[in-house]
């Protein structure tokens, strides 16, 4: 059975692999030959098994080919490396032969008899010995007696002819090549290989050139770094990343890999030695410049009795000029140490060094060496300031809160940049507050969003104020004025987001009142640090609140007019005791305590539905408006109340004059009495409690000796 299935599978495979295979024809024939669904299912299983087997074979072949590809690529890499080394050796030999002075040619001919001593040496060692290279180096001219200034210059010229775009380097007198070799540059963050480079170390700078693969032995200029602004850091081996070192140059850093550990050690040693030699040379130049000049020969006063006294006065300060000792090691290495601190983000260490130098040079004269040193230090101060400014820029991460800026702010203050530190700190916090507000998700009820908004904003404002007080304590008081201005601007940002969600979305007056109440409560928390911004939030919200009060007043007036148009002057029948009890509770919450006297037998109320609805709506409007109240809104609220009350009073007066039925007229008088003697005193009392002073307009309205009389044709009266 197994043999039959294997033969069927092989036959099927051959059929599918044939060049003239057509899927549509094959399926048609299979459908005609099959006896039923079972045959098709079995054939499908065979095809699926064949597909899985083919996939496995394909994976196996791909894996084998992949391994062979990796091994081939590795061999190609080895071969390429060997060819590159061979090409480099030939280039070095050619360069060294071209650099041999003509004066040494006879000596080289005389030394040909000593070739037997090097006969046993390898070809690379013999070439290095004959060309005059240091043992084990990658092409360093020997600086022995045979290599004079002309030879050094010729070597440098020959090597730099192979570097495109660096002709101007030869303009510096006394510059010569110290060391050079191939390196591989890696990306600092992810340690990915970037490019091949060649380093040329001169006695005062380091030239980095990129390798040109299409032109063997030629390079293109990449960068030039002065040694006094360059710091070298050894990178610990972390396989497979090894034999690396880092060069720190503000504001960048670069990582290079040497061919092996020996060449890496040579690079580190020769870099340090060259930097030290350059530092010693400049220190000697400074000492020579700072050394006092020999006093001019003193002539006898008797020989020239008419000698000009002014000339003596001019010569005296030159003799008595005080010398400033700049030979100490920490002063000589100060610019380099500052570069290292800036590159390693050791801002405190950099400012400590600057303070130490300023303290040392305090009350000392400023001869040319001191001015030169200060010029170098000032350049580092400028670089340090730029780094600190970048640390406080809004482009940086805003996480960590205000405390994350303390380090940069404190160092800027120590550098005497208090105003700039204050400006950058407040700008950073403004961006942080703006980002926090924008990241709030608008979901759910408006009041829930306002709670979140107030918590985020006022917490950030409080933390910023405390951090500001900590960072700028003891500084110029003008910084505190800047903070108050910033706080007002931040409050404007908050009010924009607040108004957009509360007032622009046409929320109800009760919701708006609750939201404003929440904002006021959070604003009062700033009083803990002596910061009162309540008047600012009032000034910013007054226009929106006026608009909300006006809109809600118009809604009440329209609703009252609509009910007045349908008024039949009939008593209310609430049908059930529960409804009557609920109405009594609502009136009690509105402040109408004597509502019991207006209830009748069973579930009847001796008042019109229009008057009862007006009472509840007016008292609700007053309660919500008092939550929004502050002095700037006094007249707006009072005028709105008077307008709303006049609509109801005018309607009652008009109905009383027009009604002819004595029974209905008595019922209208009862409703008018309820308005004048019960509702208006409650409105007046509640307004005085909420505002703190009585309202004369409401008193005049209540104390009217008669009902208001209006022209029946008036547009304010509704029949």
CA distance 486 to 492: 10
Instruction: Report whether 698 contacts 679 (CB < 8 A).
Output: no
Query: Of 305, 381, 376, 306, nearest to 342 (Cα)?
Result: 381
Predicted pLDDT at 263:
92
Structure token digits, residue 261: 């550990």
Predicted pLDDT at 197:
92
Q: Report, as ranges of residue numbers, the positions in the chain whose pLDDT lies below 50.
A: 1-4, 102-146, 298-303, 305-320, 705-719
Q: Compute CA distances 417 → 232, 253, 366, 409, whole Å.
A: 30, 27, 24, 9
pLDDT in tens, 643-676: 888 888 888 888 888 877 888 888 888 888 888 8
Predicted pLDDT at 256:
92
Structure token digits, residue 574: 């609430």
Structure token digits, residue 126: 């013999």
Predicted pLDDT at 270:
92
Instruction: Report whether 302 contacts 266 (CB < 8 A).
Output: no
Q: State pTM to two decimals.
A: 0.50
Predicted pLDDT at 315:
43
Q: How would you classify the pairing of strands 177-186 and 163-164?
A: unpaired
Predicted pLDDT at 295:
53
Predicted pLDDT at 257:
92
Instruction: Report whether 175 contacts 169 (CB < 8 A).
Output: yes
Predicted pLDDT at 706:
45
Q: What is the DSSP string of 100-151?
A: S-GGGHHHHHHGGGGGGGGTTS-HHHHHHHHHTBPTT-SS-B--STT--HHH
């Amino acid at each position: 059975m197994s043999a039959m299935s294997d033969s069927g599978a092989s036959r099927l495979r051959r059929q599918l692999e044939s060049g003239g295979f057509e899927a549509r024809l094959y399926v048609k024939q299979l459908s005609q030959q099959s006896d039923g669904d079972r045959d098709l299912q079995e054939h499908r299983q065979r095809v699926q098994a064949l597909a899985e087997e083919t996939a496995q074979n394909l994976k196996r072949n791909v894996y084998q080919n992949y391994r062979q590809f990796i091994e081939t690529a590795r061999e190609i890499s080895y071969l390429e490396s060997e060819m590159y080394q061979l090409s480099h050796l030939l280039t070095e030999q050619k360069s060294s032969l071209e650099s041999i002075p003509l004066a040494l040619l006879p000596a080289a001919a005389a030394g040909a008899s000593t070739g037997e001593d090097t006969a046993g040496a390898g070809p690379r060692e013999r070439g290095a010995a004959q060309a005059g290279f240091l043992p084990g180096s990658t092409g360093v001219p020997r600086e022995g007696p045979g290599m004079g200034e002309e030879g050094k210059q010729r070597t440098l010229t020959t090597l730099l002819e192979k570097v495109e775009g660096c002709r101007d380097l030869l303009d510096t007198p006394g510059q010569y090549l110290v060391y050079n070799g191939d390196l591989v540059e890696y990306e600092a963050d992810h340690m990915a290989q970037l490019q091949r480079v060649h380093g040329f170390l001169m006695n005062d700078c380091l030239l980095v050139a990129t390798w040109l693969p299409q032109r063997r032995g030629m390079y293109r200029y990449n960068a030039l770094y002065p040694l006094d602004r360059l710091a070298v850091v050894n990178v610990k081996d972390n396989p497979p990343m090894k034999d690396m070192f880092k060069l720190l140059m503000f504001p960048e850093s670069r990582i290079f890999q040497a061919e092996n550990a020996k060449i890496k050690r040579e690079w580190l040693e020769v870099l340090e030695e060259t930097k030290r030699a350059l530092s010693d040379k400049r220190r000697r130049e400074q000492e020579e410049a700072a050394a006092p000049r020999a006093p001019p020969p003193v002539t006898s006063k008797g020989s020239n009795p008419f000698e000009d006294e002014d000339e003596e006065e001019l010569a005296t300060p030159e003799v008595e000029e005080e010398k400033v000792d700049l030979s100490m090691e920490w002063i000589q290495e100060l610019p380099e140490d500052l570069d290292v601190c800036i590159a390693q983000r050791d801002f405190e260490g950099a400012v400590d060094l600057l303070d130490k130098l300023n303290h040392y040079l305090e009350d000392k004269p400023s001869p040319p060496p001191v001015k030169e040193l200060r010029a170098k230090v000032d350049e580092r101060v400028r670089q340090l300031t730029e780094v600190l400014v970048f640390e406080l820029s809004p482009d940086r991460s805003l996480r960590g809160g205000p405390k994350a800026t303390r380090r940069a702010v404190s160092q800027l203050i120590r550098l005497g940049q208090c105003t700039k530190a204050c400006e950058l700190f407040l700008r950073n916090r403004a961006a942080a507050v703006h980002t926090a507000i924008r990241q709030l998700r608008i979901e759910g009820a408006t009041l829930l969003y306002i709670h979140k908004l107030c918590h985020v904003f006022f917490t950030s404002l409080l933390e910023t104020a405390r951090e500001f007080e900590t960072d700028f304590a003891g500084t110029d008081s003008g910084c505190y004025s800047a903070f108050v201005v910033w706080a007002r601007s931040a409050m404007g940002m908050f009010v924009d987001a607040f108004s957009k969600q509360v007032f622009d979305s046409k929320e109800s007056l009760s919701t708006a009142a609750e939201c404003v109440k929440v904002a006021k409560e959070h604003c009062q928390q700033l009083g803990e640090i002596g910061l009162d911004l309540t008047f600012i939030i009032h000034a910013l919200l007054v226009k929106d609140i006026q608009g909300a009060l006006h809109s809600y007043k118009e809604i009440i007036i329209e609703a009252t007019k609509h009910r007045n148009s349908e008024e039949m002057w009939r008593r209310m029948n609430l049908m059930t005791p529960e409804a009557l009890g609920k109405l009594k509770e609502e009136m009690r919450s509105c402040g109408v305590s004597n509502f019991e006297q207006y209830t009748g037998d069973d579930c009847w109320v001796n008042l019109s539905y229009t008057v009862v609805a007006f009472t509840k709506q007016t008292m609700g409007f007053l309660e919500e408006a008092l939550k929004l109240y502050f002095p700037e809104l006094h007249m707006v609220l009072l005028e709105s109340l008077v307008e709303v009350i006049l609509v109801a009073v005018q309607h009652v007066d008009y109905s009383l004059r027009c009604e002819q039925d004595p029974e209905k007229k008595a019922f209208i008088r009862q409703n008018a009495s309820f308005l004048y003697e019960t509702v208006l005193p409650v409105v007046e009392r509640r307004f005085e409690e909420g505002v703190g002073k009585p309202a004369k307009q409401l008193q005049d309205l209540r104390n009217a000796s008669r009902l208001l009389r209006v022209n029946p044709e008036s547009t304010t009266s509704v029949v």
